[in-house]
Structure 1
Amino acid sequence: MDKAAAKQKFVDTFGELVEELKTILVQYKMPQEAIDWFVNSLNYNTPGGKLNRGLSVIDTYCILKGISTSDLSEEQYKKVAILGWCIELLQAYFLVADDMMDQSKTRRGQPCWYLVEGVGNIAINDSFMLEGAIYMLLKKHFREDSYYVDLLDLFHEVTFQTELGQLLDLVTADEEVVDLDKFSLLKHSFIVIFKTAYYSFYLPVALAMFMAGITKQSDLKQAQDILIPLGEYFQIQDDYLDCFGTPEQIGKIGTDIKDNKCSWVVNQALLKVTPEQRHLLDTNYGKKDDESEARVKKLFNDLGIEKTYTDYEEEVVGKLRQSIANVDETNGLKKEVFSAFLAKVYKRSK
């Protein structure tokens, strides 16, 4: 099955899940107006985007079982796809709330949910309901499975970890008050590991492992020890592309400099600047005008940040490849799970 067909099959499953969630509201005797609102929120906020996190659950499960997607029974496919959609619901929950906190205008090429006519602050409750939908689906489809509590624990812990990352991001990089003294590579590492790596890289693999019966703590730790550094590398790559990639290349206009983001790029610059260059950063970083952004970008070029990134990339990928080579496959965990993730990330340009 090619990528487009695999994605379409996954998307088709979401329609079934919306109907299941709708039925729960009907059983609660919710008025039709509220049911329609929830269904609209689900469809507007969840299935957009690349769906990489959700699809990764299916891909990982198939690698662990040594089969292709087409070999899965209808029941197997639906269960593993539900776990994938639970991650996409978690992502939707985060994004709806995050867009309100950041006062963002667009998401995935359309207005942010809170800016849709008639929504406004109701989006706060909608974000809660997107998260709640995860646990309704898990209860319906996994309650009789031995790993049900493991799934609940995993989702609760990863959600809290992500919220910790968001908290540090918000208090470190206030868009209204620029203070580069708050920035550090240590803070950046914590933010990206907790805000991105756990739910985007570790969660899909851990979910597939539980469903495949690979539940030993030693195996979960093996996965975490590779996937968390891989997730950090992915986000550093994102920070780099935001500054040095073109809009045609990355599909968006980079805004980290104007948004006063505690990015890897500015933290590397802070390690290299002279007092005069530091003054230039202090007076231009986080400003909303194009001229200030251009001065910062020129400074990044003068400091050789592109070379710093290239050296970092080769070093971290070398370490990741070594870690993957050392994976113990005794209990069913497979090196291919991690090499497949690394192949998607290494040298990506968007």
Structure 2
Amino acid sequence: MESSRNLKMKFDDLFDVLVKDLTENQPADTSPALKWFQQVLLYNVPHGKKNRGLTVVQSYEFLIGEKKEMSDEDFKITAVVGWCIELLQAFFLVSDDVMDHSITRRGRPCWYTVPGVGLIAMNDALYIESSVYKLLKKYIRNKPYYIDIVDLFHETIHQTIVGQCLDLLTSKEVNLDGFTLDRYNAIVKYKTAYYSFHLPVACAIYMVGINDERSHQLAKDILLKMGEYFQVQDDYLDCFGDPELTGKLGTDIEDNKCSWLIVQAWSKADNRQKEILKVNYGKPEECNLKMVKMVYEELNLRTVYEDYEAKSFQEISKLIEGIDSCLPKTMFNEFAKKIYKRNK
């Protein structure tokens, strides 16, 4: 299997080709829009860790096994699908940042805050989404799995939008009693787990010709659990992570987000601590932030998180060990190791 560094370099090299596909040889009277969209793509798409996109390529390698070497054509097609997921990620992030009034993303100002952009960013987000289907049509239209992949993207977008709606509605809650573990798990599953974990691997599974329902369901069960674990990590890092490593300033407390930390805190707090949380959670001032974090420290949520992390990893490992289909256990184990105890 190719080294991660070489794989990432080859993956990155394809991006400029795809930008040209999307912005060149188009109707002349759309020229101003195309110049703008080129900026949109270059600013918003290629600067993340690219884990989702690379996962398509890596999954494909695992699935074809050692008996067959990935051809240049195999790489290109899987990388294109991977970049489509990176585009999808950018679509979600650009619109999400507007809705959440976020300030930074991947260590840079959010796109909508860039001078001259503003709410044009919402149209830019829609443009990025539509680009996914332009590329899928260009590169895999004649493949037997085309319909399955397109359908998977449509379904995943719908799931993620449902999750975002749950997240936004919950963040409007005045009463923290609505911040339950059930609500949190629903937000995580739909907003994050489907597109971040299930989509990349499911694409690769279809691309190698595995279509049986059982294999896809086994993969989904494991990947959604990984997605839950990943989001809990994200929530923890939003509060306790180093912005130099994460690339963003956490705003879950100020934004009244139904994060894993507030769900845990509310379920464990005594009356005094609940009163502090009621008064300060969802407020923008530094003093409010400090009071919430004080309660988090009193409740020893760092240790609660460490216990969750260990238990969750064990549950994921058990699910992987129970695989009884053609899916390779090594693939899931490698992906689980990558996210275990991450700090960014």
Give the equivalent residue in structure 1 for 2:295: 299
User: Structure 1: which amino acid aligns with 2:20?
Assistant: E
Which residue of structure 1 aligns with residue 119 of structure 2? 121
Equivalent residues in 2 for 1:38-187, closer than 5 Å: 38-67=37-66, 71-174=69-172, 178-187=174-183
- In structure 2, the partner of 1:4 is 5
CA contact (8 A) 2:171 2:257 kept: yes
Describe the superposition over 1:182-208 as per-residue Cα deviations: whole angstroms up to 9, x where unpaired. Answer: 211111111111100000000000011
Superposition pairs of residues 267-286 of structure 1, within 5 angstroms: 267-286=263-282
Alignment of 1:237-256 (within 5 A): 237-248=233-244, 250-256=246-252
> Unaligned stretches of 5+ in structure 1?
none
CA 1:281–1:62 in 2, change beyond 3 Å: closer, same or farther?
Answer: same
Amino acid of the structure 1 residue aligned with 2:321: A
Cα contact 1:178–1:285 (8 A) shared by 2: no
Structure 2 spans left out of the alignment, 5+ residues: none
Aligned to 2:22: 21
Pair 217,186 (structure 1): closer, same or farther in 2 beyond 3 Å: same
2:323 is matched with 327
Shift of 1:245: 3.1
Partners of 1:202 and 1:215 lie apart in 2 by 15
Question: What's the counterpart of residue 202 of structure 1?
Answer: 198
Q: Give the aligned length.
A: 343
Percent identity over the alignment? 49
Three-state SS of the structure 1 residue aligned to 2:256 is coil
Q: Which amino acid aligns with 2:32?
A: E
Give distance in 1, aligned partners of 2:223 and 2:240: 25
State the Cα distance separating 1:73 from its structure 2 match. Answer: 2.1
Partner SS state of residue 115, structure 2? coil
Q: Could you tell me how far 1:140 is from its partner in structure 2? A: 1.3
- Note the C-alpha offset of 1:67: 4.6
Code of the residue aligned with 1:124 in structure 2: it is M
1:43 maps to a residue whose letter is L
Query: Which 10-residue stretch deviates more, 40-49 or 101-110?
Result: 101-110
Poorly superposed stretches of 4+, deviation over 6 Å: none
Query: Quick check: 1:62–1:68 contact (8 Å CA) kept in 2?
Result: no
Judge conservation of contact 2:107–2:248 (CA < 8 Å) in 1. Answer: no
Q: 2:188 maps to which residue?
A: 192
Aligned twin of 2:209? 213
- Kept in 1, the 8 Å contact 2:107–2:247? The answer is no
For 2:127 and 2:103, how far apart are their aligned partners in 1? 22
Within 1, Cα distance between the matches of 2:259 and 2:170? 11
Q: CA deviation at 1:143?
A: 1.4
CA distance in 1, matches of 2:163, 2:41: 25
Letter paired with 2:334: A
Tell me the SS of whatever aligns to 2:327: coil
Kindly indicate whether residue 229 of structure 2 is the aligned counterpart of residue 229 of structure 1: no
CA distance in 1: counterparts of 2:101 and 2:240, whole angstroms = 25
For 2:109 and 2:244, the matched residues in 1 are separated by: 21
What is the alpha-carbon distance in structure 2 between the residues aligned to residue 134 and residue 253 of structure 1? Answer: 29
Cα deviation 1:11-57 (Å, max 9, x = unaligned): 1101111111224xx34444322221122212121111111100111
Task: Read off the aligned partner of 1:292 and give its amino acid letter.
Answer: N
For residues 340 and 60 of structure 1, the distance between their equivalents in structure 2, rounded to whole angstroms, comes to 10
Q: Which letter maps to 2:198?
A: Y
Q: 1:200 is paired with a residue of what secondary structure?
A: helix
TM-score (norm 1): 0.92
CA contact (8 A) 1:201 1:227 kept: yes
In structure 2, the partner of 1:339 is: 333
Deviates more, 1:138-147 or 1:238-247: 238-247
Are the equivalent residues in 2 in contact too, given 1:214–1:333 (CA < 8 A)?
Answer: no
- Measured after TM superposition, the shift of residue 68 of structure 1 is 11
Cα separation, 2, equivalents of 1:303 and 1:111 = 34
Q: Deviations over 1:126-157 (max 9, x none)?
A: 11111111111111111111111101110000
> Alpha carbons of 1:181 and 1:124: their partners in 2 closer, same or farther (altered >3 Å)?
same
Letter of the 2:71 counterpart:
S
Q: Which residue identity does 2:143 align to in structure 1?
A: D
Structure 1 CA distance, aligned partners of 2:7 and 2:226? Answer: 24
Q: Secondary structure at the match of 2:253?
A: coil
